[in-house]
Structure 1
Amino acid sequence: MELIAEDLQAFAVFARCRNFTRAAEELHVSQPALHVRIRKLEARLGTQLYEKHGRQLFLTGAGERLAAFANDTRDRTADFLRTLDAAPPRPLVLIAGSGAYLYLLGDRLRRYLARGNELRLRTGDAAETLAAVRGGDADAGVTALGVPPDDLDCTLIAKFPQTLIVRNDHRLAGRRTVRLRDLQDEALVVPPKDRPHRQQLERSMLDQGIQWSVAVEAEGWELLVQFVRLGIGPAVVNGSVKTTSAVRKIPVKDLPPIRYYLITRSARDSRVDALRRALT
């Protein structure tokens, strides 16, 4: 079976974007042409490479392995060509969520870059971070995880409590700690339903039989904090989130801490190890 380099490149871009429109634009081809190319690649391999759930596309196990192979082939080719013309190595790629960049990585990245190191930054949620590292689109990732996966090297770099944030005039503002039962009948500011933080909070509330409602859904920690400041309702957030004097942060005793991990593939080069030391 012959795999054409152009097909591997096209699939690698599609796997990173997980969106036919964006991938086609990046490859400078039409969306129907890219769709046909991926379908022909599936037929040639005799396996499904992606699935559609709602509006989102997800790689199958075979798709993740092919993306990793495509990116590994790209990197090996680039390494070989560099031996011919002594071209400088490509910058490392780091992927992390907006919260990690805002509240965790800022000073560490500043010191790393100040030493003359090159780094290309990408943003992505936990699922996108894992997929990018597995597929070779990123050399390292930082994200919050409940249980680290066995197929990647995961190093704990930070741990934060989950905290309730309330306005200073809220009934719980004077508490030093709270439990979930203290949120009975509260209307909360929460992330969208598909976010892991929201899903964990809903499971915990359900397990304890606590009734609550949604005051508003907000994307991103900064917007959650802003809605709390406006008096829309309290919110449960990652303890690393920065607030103002108008908002109180109170640890929630019966929620697990948020653990951030640096994630890499097992095969690493010395530059990845240097990045690991800088971020941990």
Structure 2
Amino acid sequence: MPRMHLTLQQLRLFEAVARHRHFTRAAEELHLTQPAVSIQLRRLEENVGAKLFEHIGKRFFLTPAGHEMHAACNDILERLRTLEQALDSLDDTLKGPLRLSVVTSTKYFIPHILGSFIADHQAVVPRLIVTNRERVIERLAENQDDFVIMGQAPDDLAVEARPFYENLLVVAAHPHHPLAAVPAIPPAQIASERWLVREAGSGTRSAFDRYLIEHEVAISPYMELGSTEAIKQAVMAGLGVSVLPLSSMQLELSNGCLAVLDVHGFPLCRRWNAVWLKGKTLPRVAQAFVEFLLEGAKHAAPHAGHPPAASA
């Protein structure tokens, strides 16, 4: 059999495509274009001398040779990761990649925490993906990152979860809303408002749904929006009220663009968690960042304490 001339880049590309079963997702993960991925994989098949994928309709699958290549890729890449960690442990300098996926709501404070960490460890190279909860769970299940940051950890995966930062959810409204100066608003009264809600499955929506069940009230959502930013803009436009993370509202509160309503049972207190698969050994850099989160990250992030008094 002729000697194969394979490159690490080809192995990484093949592993990503085989894992995702999707060229576009693999290209996005590796920051390449889809045509570039396709060209590299064709060259890999030429070097191997065998077809690695087969197309059936609009889907594609691994061939028997592809399955063998996938197993070999996993072995090689895992050995390289182990080598990288072993070499890093011999050096007092904390360095290397830090691979994180985080849910979108964390974008208001994670950059501040990460910036403080990098300021102390400038040889660390962060690779941060900000996406929705569903995608973060997919990446967690596929072990694509060192760890992920999210609210409630998934119930259907065996994971380790380390809570590190308080996440207060409050009821946000336009500053001139009739209830903005009303104290101790009962749940039944607020239920009749026009509610702007996140999509089903988001952490904020799930926490609010539990609140409604616990207080035996029901709402009829006026609008369902797919991001915190979209909801903030809608609330500021006077379209309704919503539940938002307090950490996402600091600028708007200081500028008088939003108000926090004094609703009974709020704020809802949740925790952000660093989450990884049970049994996984975190790389040295990731372990150091988890310790940073647990020990002092809250001091580097924007203040997320109790909400300010209701605005007039």
Indicate whether the TM-score tops 0.5.
Answer: yes
Fraction of identical pairs, as percent: 17
Query: Once superposed, what is the RMSD of the aligned Cα atoms?
Result: 4.0
Q: Which runs of 5+ in 1 are unaligned?
A: 46-66
Q: What is aligned with 2:258? A: 247
**1:22-76: CA deviation from partner (whole Å, max 9, x where unpaired):** 44737416997493324x46x979xxxxxxxxxxxxxxxxxxxxx9997575232
TM-score by length of 1: 0.71
TM-score by length of 2: 0.64
Post-superposition offset of 1:21: 4.4
Q: Hey, what's the Cα distance between the residues in 2 that align with 1:69 and 1:158?
A: 40
Post-superposition offset of 1:96: 0.5
**1:78-122: CA deviation from partner (whole Å, max 9, x where unpaired):** 5459999xxx985121111222122x2122111122231211111
Q: In structure 1, which of residues 139, 143, 163 is the aligned counterpart of residue 146 of structure 2?
A: 139
Q: In structure 2, which of residues 89, 112, 130 is the aligned counterpart of residue 107 of structure 1?
A: 112
**1:1-280 correspondence to structure 2 within 5 Å:** 10=14, 12-13=16-17, 15=19, 17=20, 19=22, 21-23=24-26, 25=34, 27-28=37-38, 33=55, 35-38=59-62, 40=63, 73-80=76-83, 91-102=97-108, 104-114=109-119, 115-116=121-122, 117-145=124-152, 151-205=158-212, 208-242=215-249, 243-244=252-253, 245-250=256-261, 252-254=263-265, 256-265=268-277, 266-280=280-294
CA 1:99–1:192 in structure 2 vs 1: closer, same or farther (change >3 Å)?
same
CA 1:167–1:21 in structure 2 vs 1: closer, same or farther (change >3 Å)?
same
Count residues with an aligned counterpart.
Answer: 250
- Say whether the 8 Å CA contact 2:103–2:132 is kept in structure 1: yes
AA aligned opposite 1:109: L
Q: Hey, what's the Cα distance between the residues in 2 that align with 1:81 and 1:248?
A: 49
Q: Which runs of 5+ in 2 are unaligned?
A: 1-7, 28-33, 43-52, 88-93, 295-312
- Say whether the 8 Å CA contact 2:196–2:225 is kept in structure 1: yes
CA 1:252–1:231 in structure 2 vs 1: closer, same or farther (change >3 Å)?
same
AA aligned opposite 2:284: S
Post-superposition offset of 1:14: 5.1
CA 1:218–1:118 in structure 2 vs 1: closer, same or farther (change >3 Å)?
same
- Say whether the 8 Å CA contact 2:153–2:161 is kept in structure 1: no
